[in-house]
Amino acid sequence: MSKKNACKKCKYLYDGQECPACKSAQPVQNWKGRVAVLDLDNSGIAKKIGAEQGGEYAIKVN
């Protein structure tokens, strides 16, 4: 299983070359930690990281 890409701009984790969250084409494979946003409207973490959609986000992107 290959490691997912993290978007350098919004830190969303995804497969492929273009981020489905922000449409950026800056995939990074060097990232650490992950957080899953399940309930976007009621999540304090989602607000803190600036999540715009539910899904998995990297905690640190290098």
Entry pTM = 0.89
State the pLDDT at residue 48.
94
Our CA dihedral for 29, 30, 36, 39, rounded to 10 degrees, sits at -80
Output the tens digit of pLDDT for each of the chain's 62 residues.
Answer: 568 999 999 999 999 999 999 999 999 999 999 999 999 999 999 999 999 999 999 999 99
State the pLDDT at residue 45.
94
State the pLDDT at residue 1.
59
Which CATH number is 5-61 given?
2.20.28.90
Cβ–Cβ under 8 Å, residues 45 and 38: no
